[in-house]
Structure 1
């Protein structure tokens, strides 16, 4: 089976949009999501019946559409979202994967999970309260994760008499703040999720607004899937050696292509060893193909017998990343226990996990004025800061600006496996200042 470059550029590959919702507690995120699902006819009859029954048991006369996403019993009892709720729905124009993330400050870490793969973020603001600290925090996380499109949904416009000046003031304040963070595209939409204004259908109460509804924007926002322009990266997950009579010498390297495309006959480099070879064959779903691209899971076979194991990275020889042991990055701290200078951690990058030590925490971001608080000494839950990490083994990291998949990593507590921080590599490692090799008190070599 042969796959051509024309198939790689197939426009049908652009019909999926991953997006996340975020906002402060009670801003109406779950109601917005429920309204989207309900008004776009994406709710099954039994689901709607269950919501109606749950609403009646709580003394509500009309169905509470927020319950379509708030699935955990603790969430329903408290009336808030405390976990990331994923929903899948489709319209005639596009398919969607939606992550409804928590609003409470203590669950900001969950937004990092929900937005890490999102191509668009919907940030809700209560029209009565305007931009608050949690709004700024969500904007900072969206900018940090380089979400290319941000929608500001000014909700509960019905409670401010659909006043245009209220919407305009909030939109201007948020746009100014998010632009300073580096968010490339911001679209402001006035809505009432409870009444359905400007969610799926245009609002008759806000004739002064001439822009798209939320669903219309979701259906038409351009989503880039130009796979040929990405840095091709293939983290090895498993080495396949079937040892059968039919294939006595078979050696394949299985995994999911993280970015870009690979072709048979292409010259590649294996990192961190730096050895080079040529792609002899690519197996996908039991058949040989000429080309494969992200996010396909394939097996790559090389012309040369090279020592390759889980965690190694295969990349085009002409476009291989620089390996480093000195990682300079921005992190969002997600654990309850703090992250301090000198702390021993595990760093997980794609399929590779190595020992590491936090050498420095140069600064922490102050959300009010976007200033950098120098030398904080440690990061606590929900902090965003810069860190310098020294790894025991070289890593083939890309800059996060170039690749969200191979420019990101996790810092993990080696004692219990708790995820401590989500990191985004932010400097050119070719010019990163090298740190002297050393050994810590417990014998970890760095």
Structure 2
């Protein structure tokens, strides 16, 4: 049998076998008992040519419907934002997508500088003092912030609002259990953090409080009040999980007194995918500088006095110190961080502000139009950014199927994570959605029997 991607000829194989003193390939497996060896060919379909395989895969791919085919109103943590075309041209350059760990600064200045620029932009966006070189995703960043708060305060309890992304909550539960740290959930009230419940649960053992805003339901939380309550406990850190895209319009975490900011960077120009790769963002005040997880790039000068960049404030070996390490994640999403950097630079302050503003305006237009049909009512009351939850007598699955049949990707079925919100759908409206697309969404939903 010929294997197309194994270039060894029969003569090559014979020469290699002779070099190690064997007469056949079967002799390589002499140590495996005869009774365990396969005596017949694998039960696989007939092999296909490259042309046939490509044709088959192309046919399968056409069965998918992506945001290139249909307008998308699905969010819940990953959003269909506009991606400037310049990003693809730059990010696909070989020096970017083949770069590796910048442990040797003398040959890694380009990589180190791009990460330094990313850190700088994130601090400006969040209003914090320092940002790391990124983490795996938003959920991981949230968990790392919780562990950092515990390590810094030498306490073992984290409070988390139930209004955060359910995926982040599951990651928190998994990590904190293995770290032998206590996780206490704070109840919700009308889709937001119940501040009275938070106040009742904050105590001297609290290391940190995690609130998401805009939260999973799209609602803008009272972060400043949560900060005030958190800081009644000595050394307790207020951890805010946020959508960095929203910071083009909303008050920065730094302005609100937040100690640690985390978030999912997908909204900064990264395309939608089946789970990634995405980008974890973590920024903090300088009092946590020595406890920040992951990598940190610093600016210095070389022996000639020229500006240069290095990994700083953490030795490479710190990642293998087990429970004493600031983090057991010893890598970062370098390519994704560069992607977000190009996006932020390309959009600029005014571009990001305009995109966030348009998203908000279009989301409120869609919200008002859907309520006017009489078939939907708000699941919660409260100010929202670009995402909102509605409920009706219609099954969420039926609603989304009707939309898909009409060429529209619908919202997120909240009943998947919150059984108490059966028939509730979370709709996301980004700057990409047009008035015509929103009006068609309303028309289809109004016509469902």
Shorter-chain TM-score: what band?
A: under 0.3
Q: Report the structure, 1 or 2, having the larger strand content.
A: 1
Q: Report the structure, 1 or 2, having the larger helix content.
A: 2
Q: Larger relative contact order (C-alpha < 8 A, sep ≥ 6)?
A: 2
Larger Rg: 2
